[in-house]
Amino acid sequence: MTKTIINVDIEALNAEFEALGFQERISRLYEYFPVDRVLFTSSFGTKSVVMLTLVSRGNARQKVHMLNTGYHFPETLAYKDTLSEITGLEVVEIHPEKDRHEQTVAAEMWESQPSRCCHYNKVLPLKAVKEEHTVWMSGVHSYQTMNRAAMRIFEEVEGLIHFHPLIDITEGEFLFHLEKDKLPRHPLEAKGYGSIGCHHCTRPGQGRAGRWAGKDKDECGLHV
C-alpha cells in the first residue's frame, strides 16, 4: 500500500479538536480520515488502558499495533491479551528485523548503547509501518516528559500527521477514567512500576523515573 498524501490544515484541526472531550476527539478523527489510514500504537503499559478503551468506543474496526521488541515483561504480554479481549481491538505485533535484534542481544546493547537498542527494536520496525498510513495516533500525555509537554493534538512530522488526543489529560482525569470504567491496571503497577517498557531498561519508580534509570535518556525515540 502506498502512502496517500492528504492536504489538511493542521491549525484548523487543532482549533476544532481542542474544544472537544477526549472521546469526541477520537470519534471525530474518523470523519476526516478512514480507519485503514490511521495507525494506532500502544505499548500496553501503565497508561495504555484508557486510550485503548476510548479508541474501541470510537471505532471498533481500528487495529492497534504493538512493537514487540523481544524484551517485554511477561506481565506486559499477558496484559496485552487481557486488554485486547476487553476492548475487542485486534492487536498487530510489529517485530524488529532478526539480524539487528540479535546484534542487540549479543552486545547487550541496552547497557552500552540504549538509544541504538531502541532504534533497532522500535524506531526502524515502526518506520515501514508508518509509511503505509496517513495518521499516527498515540496516547502520550504532556506531563510525562519535557519533550511531550511541547506537543499539540495534531502535528505534521515528515509528511505524517501525528494525533495525540490525550496530550492535555491530567493525571487526575486519567485516574477518573480508570475508576469510572473500572479498568484493569498493569499487573506490575502493584510492584511499584510507574512506567513500563523493556525489562532491561525498566525499574520500579514513580512516573517515568524507572525508565532508563541512571542514563541520560527519557524517550525511546519514537515520539521525539
In a domain, 214, yes or no: no
Count of structural domains, the chain: 1
* Catalytic site includes residue 220: yes
In a domain, 217, yes or no: no
> β-strands 160-163, 154-157: how paired?
antiparallel
pLDDT value for 140: 85
pLDDT value for 220: 66
In a domain, 79, yes or no: yes
d(CA 109, CA 10): 38
Q: Is 218 exposed, middle or buried (0-12, 13-18, 19+ CB in 10 A)?
A: middle
CATH code, 23: 3.40.50.620
First to last CA, the chain: 26
* Grid cell locating 222: 519514537
d(CA 63, CA 215): 34
pLDDT in tens, the chain (224 residues): 444 445 789 999 999 999 999 999 999 999 999 999 999 999 999 999 999 999 999 999 999 999 999 999 999 999 999 999 999 999 999 999 999 999 999 999 999 999 999 999 999 999 999 999 999 999 888 766 666 677 899 999 988 999 999 999 998 999 999 999 999 999 999 999 988 999 999 999 887 788 877 787 666 656 56
Asked if 166 and 141 count as a contact pair (C-beta separation under 8 A), the reply is yes
In a domain, 27, yes or no: yes
Asked if 192 and 207 count as a contact pair (C-beta separation under 8 A), the reply is no
In a domain, 4, yes or no: no
pLDDT value for 3: 45
pTM: 0.90
Q: Is 43 exposed, middle or buried (0-12, 13-18, 19+ CB in 10 A)?
A: buried
Q: Which residues contact 93 (CB under 8 A, 6 or more apart)?
A: 65, 66, 67, 68
In a domain, 108, yes or no: yes
d(CA 120, CA 102): 10
Burial 110-146 (b: 16+ CB within 10 A, else e): beeebbbbbbbbbbebbeeebeebbbbbbbbbbebbe
Range of the domain at 123: 10-201
In a domain, 223, yes or no: no
Alpha carbon 182 to its chain's center: 21
Residue of 118, 198, 201, 220 with catalytic role: 220
In a domain, 211, yes or no: no
- Helix, strand, or coil here: 145? coil
